[in-house]
Structure 1
Amino acid sequence: MPVIKAPQEFNVEDLFIDLRAVLGTALYLKCEGFNFAGSVKLKAAAEMVAAAERDGLIGLDSVLVESSSGNLGVALAMVAADRGLRFVCVTDPRCNTASRRLMRSLGAEVVVVEAQDANGGYLNSRISHVRDLCASDPRYVWLNQYANPGNWRAHYLHTAPAIARSFPGLEVLFVGAGTTGTLMGCARYFKERGAPVTIVAVDAVGSVTFGGVPERRMVPGLGTSVRPELVDESWLDDVVHVPEPDTIMACHSLAARGFLFGGSTGTVVSGASRWLAEKYPGEEPVAVAVSPDLGERYLDSIYEEGWLRDHFGRLDLPDRPDRSERP
């Protein structure tokens, strides 16, 4: 029976979904959304805060500040509440309403930066605002998820070993690329051990993380308008870029079978399915994809008809399975 004293102490590590019946592809999905923050970002938040405390960077009057599109902000708000610390999340208009409300419910201050950067995104603008806050008052402590080694270390210590335990014969691992913390932690773990695992990064079209051309991106989560300092392509074997309409189609295909996941998961599943079809036609390698979060926070966006129509026009979404002939 699990008994915890802090919300970040609980996370389900051994839940995987066999997506063969949904996708027609042999792919296992590691579900990271079953913790009190609702996403894989709780691991990074807990590790980065703990490391900052060990290093003496956080005092009683410190104010944590971070740039986030949503999930890490929620996770840091939760850890800060547990530690009795103030937290300011600097986000942008793409951050969904549910995430903003969650952060505020946990006692965080949420600042929405409206100015786009030169790449048409918001990351540079968010980081600039964070830097201005830190320059204005020494109490602000920026954990900097884009460069903080605690970000990837959390997944090196927890996420990757959990996958290795469940799938000792793993052949291909798909991980989405946002800050690249999950990606780099998992890649380092398997590569350092000489495991014969192909590491495939999944990114959004319009992201500049792997040298892509910057474009408008509406789904928060994966992709960046500024290359993260953590990324090191020498640990990776391949990169897949997924258009946002494909992300939405994958989300709705999963939802049609009762699995409601977030936009990042839709991107990873779509990219993994395409990559496996191209690289292993007619074969079934042991393949795992990491699902960062669940779908409840996206009900007002990728699962809302008006939002989809406004941003993507008419999409030919998958039909719900016909159950009319079932007894």
Structure 2
Amino acid sequence: MATVISNPVDFNVEDLYVDLTPSLGRRLFLKCEGFNFSGSVKIKAATEMVRAKERAGGIGPGDTLIESSSGNMGVALALVAASRGYRFVCVTDARCTGTARRLMETFGTEVHVVTEPDPEGGFLGARLALVQRLLEKNPEYLWLNQYANPGNWTSHYRTTAPAIAEAFPGLDVLFIGAGTTGTLMGCATWFRENAPSVRVVAVDTTGSVTFGGPAGRRLIPGLGTGVRPQILDPALVDDVVYVSEPDTVRMCHRLAGRGFLFGGSTGTVVSGALDWLTTRDRDGLTAVAVAPDLGASYLETVYDQEWLARSYGPELLDVLLDA
């Protein structure tokens, strides 16, 4: 039967998995969350946060939403706002891809780009500071604050986690990238309550402070933070794996070489999952990793050799793309 929708948020592929065994040589299933009109898993949290605000009577037609985002959440909120008649202001930074910025603007979003990081909070700290300044100048703006908003994780508690459990009733380990930690916290909470034997492993990027690591340069948007998200509860996470950006790039190109074009966040998650599985030499585990995004938005960065050479150096580029 045909699927017929009248609102873009009504379409999202929930049950698509890629068996990465032929591509990686390890038994790992990848839950693809990018097949919706925003192109990423963020459509779930964006929709949940806006609908919660509507149920509380805190928003009406023509109102203006504001949020900080490195890209994917901004695109998702731009789509949701356009579909529901709201204005949207997104505060992003220089790492946001040109494609993501153009997508937001196409949906009618007003985009502010922070070009200098905060000395302590990095680009995220600088973005949050600009959000506060804009709120002071425009008190009618409504800040969703994805870093503290429970809708960011409850959307995955209701949808993502039970969908994985239904598809893989014998699941042993689940790998989830840590950005705002909405997907991570929603899934970790659900599995702790309903299937506590499942090991939940967070995959973070080197240079992120989310789990207490030292701050460092990060050029690929998506995972990692310069300010620890308020919704994070580390006690719900069984293990943390860090992935360097060169390894992220290498994995993205490795998957692209098999015809799978995924985004930087997905490359990080898969690289971390493969490292965790290989280190423990546990081939018999049933393992699932969540792929937050697709790769089209990264054609000018992760998949562009000039950008890679400029960002990481030509010598490193040769190593990264060595087949």
Where on the TM-score scale, by shorter chain, does this alignment land: which range? over 0.9
Aligned length: 319
1:151-300 equivalent positions in 2, closer than 5 A: 151-279=152-280, 281=281, 283-300=283-300
Q: Tell me the amino acid that sits aligned with residue 2 of structure 1.
A: T
Give 1:274 shift: 0.5
Tell me the alpha carbon deviations over residues 92-141 of structure 1, each in whole angstroms, 9 at most, x when there is no partner.
00000000000000111111011211247211111111111112222200
Match of 1:138 in 2: 139
Match of 2:122, SS state, is: coil
Is this contact kept in 1: 2:173–2:199, CA < 8 A? yes
Tell me the alpha carbon deviations over residues 234-283 of structure 1, each in whole angstroms, 9 at most, x when there is no partner.
1110000101100000000000110010000000000000001112x153
Match of 1:324 in 2: none
- Counterpart CA distance in 2 for 1:160 and 1:77 is 25
- Match of residue 317, structure 1, among 286, 308, 320: 320
Is this contact kept in 2: 1:119–1:215, CA < 8 A? no
Is this contact kept in 2: 1:174–1:288, CA < 8 A? yes
Q: Tell me the amino acid that sits aligned with residue 57 of structure 2.
A: G
Tell me the alpha carbon deviations over residues 269-303 of structure 1, each in whole angstroms, 9 at most, x when there is no partner.
00000001112x15320000000010010000010
Gaps of 5+ in 2: none
1:30-109 equivalent positions in 2, closer than 5 A: 30-109=31-110
Match of 2:12 in 1: 11
Q: Tell me the amino acid that sits aligned with residue 70 of structure 2.
A: S
Match of 2:320, SS state, is: coil
Match of 1:91, SS state, is: strand
Is this contact kept in 1: 2:64–2:141, CA < 8 A? yes
Which stretches of structure 1, 4 residues or more, deviate above 2 A after TM superposition?
317-320
- Counterpart CA distance in 2 for 1:283 and 1:112 is 44
Q: Tell me the amino acid that sits aligned with residue 294 of structure 2.
A: L
Match of 2:289, SS state, is: strand
Match of 1:300, SS state, is: coil
Is this contact kept in 1: 2:252–2:263, CA < 8 A? yes
Is this contact kept in 1: 2:246–2:320, CA < 8 A? no
Quote the RMSD (CA, aligned, Å).
Answer: 1.1
Match of 1:309, SS state, is: helix
Match of 2:128 in 1: 127
- Normalising by structure 2, we get a TM-score of 0.97
Is this contact kept in 2: 1:152–1:180, CA < 8 A? yes
- Counterpart CA distance in 1 for 2:254 and 2:119 is 34
Q: Tell me the amino acid that sits aligned with residue 133 of structure 1.
A: L
- Counterpart CA distance in 2 for 1:318 and 1:106 is 35
Query: Larger deviation: 158-167 or 117-126?
Result: 117-126
- Percent identity between matched residues is 61
Tell me the alpha carbon deviations over residues 164-203 of structure 1, each in whole angstroms, 9 at most, x when there is no partner.
1110100000000000000000000110114310000000
Q: Tell me the amino acid that sits aligned with residue 307 of structure 1.
A: W
Give 1:317 shift: 3.3
